[in-house]
Amino acid sequence: MSTVLSAPRPALTTLTEQERMFREAVRDFAVSEIAPRALAMDQAQQMDRSIVDPLFELGLMGVEIPESYGGTGADFFTSVLVVEELSKVDPSIGVLVDVQNTLVVNAILRWADEAQRSRWLPALATDTVGAYALSESGSGSDAFALTCRAVADGDDWLLRGQKMWITNGNEAGLFIVFATVDPEAGYKGITAFVVERGRPGFSVGKKEDKLGIRASSTTELVFDGVRIPSRNILGEVGKGYKVAIETLNEGRIGIGAQMLGLAQGALDHTVSYVQERKQFGRAIASFQGVQFQIAEMATDIEAARLLVYNAARLKDAGEPFLQQAAMAKLFASEVAQRVASRCIDLFGGNGFTTEFPVEKLYRDAKIGTIYEGTSNMQKQTIAKMLLK
């Protein structure tokens, strides 16, 4: 047997010392600063800006942005660890950071030229939240059925239309907006534009009243003849579909990390609670039926973690990861729902109240099987990869 094949390989969940220290710093911040505000933000349906600013200061909003642009200069896997840790405490904060790193920053790093990187990356690393505007009222799973139009006007483009369900809509200062420049060309007419907040004709519309991740703003965007210079095109005219597809492939790993963190957070609360809650004169953790449920949840979560970490490691290694990303997102989102539901059962009546955090995590879990590709779309992707 060759030396390479016989050499022990580190477990997927093994972290470097630098990764471990970074994760612990994120965990400390989440527990001390986010946890005390999570319920109030959920009830107010509003992100607390006093939490957003430190996210920049800690380097969590520009994990993969090179240090030369003011970022942390870490890898994609590190951004996954960040999203996981934040989501253990509040998945609303987790998705804010996830969209920033795995969608917005990722797209600019991959598709922007040097002049564009120099304009946008320092802001995204230091004080500007980003948003990714693909979805419309008639384009969900059919992502490229876009009606938002961009019409050439000299060296500029005029943008007209609406976007729906845009995460970070209220907080963002920079938006990656997908519009069609040629409806007859189908997906080959899609183009990605970077739109700065405050341009005439651009407004943030209705904020959705949601079941879960309520502190995360999900809004409508309205474009009424917004003038966009050609230098704000990300990639090439007509290549927006490639920008969207390749970015979303990585974004799904981020959502997998969000759901993984949510599930782990719910289980952590429950493991503590079942050792305190007493029935028939003893802690319910002493009952075999409860122990079996804890064991099953922990096993599901560890399986989800291996899928998410594996997909992230493959991405960083430059290996194909499309199938693994779909599997990670599919499994982690379904695990999050199962675990959060079972945790409420183990809390009993208390689990149905807002006094305990599992109620919120249960509501937050539902979106995982819907956004950035429904579970059915992930299954379709996995099957196509296996059958081609």
Distance CA 334, CA 362 (A): 12
Name residue 242's amino acid: K
Distance CA 273, CA 284 (A): 9
Pick the catalytic residue from 64, 250, 359, 372.
Answer: 372
Tell me the β-bridge partners of 159. 150, 226
Annotate 311-365 with DSSP letters as a single string: HHHHHHTT---HHHHHHHHHHHHHHHHHHHHHHHHHHGGGGGSTTSTHHHHHHHH
Residue 372: active-site member: yes
Tell me the β-bridge partners of 332. none
The tokens describing 317, both together, are: 């290694």
Distance CA 40, CA 49 (A): 13
Distance CA 340, CA 263 (A): 6
Tell me the β-bridge partners of 129. 172
For 19, 52, 70, 91, the CA distances from 216, given in Å and listed in that order, are 27, 12, 25, 9
Q: Are 204 and 32 in contact (CB under 8 A)?
A: no
- The beta-strand segments (E) located in the chain are 129-133, 149-153, 156-167, 172-180, 190-196, 202-207, 218-229, 233-234, 278-279, 282-283
Q: Which residues are catalytic?
A: 372
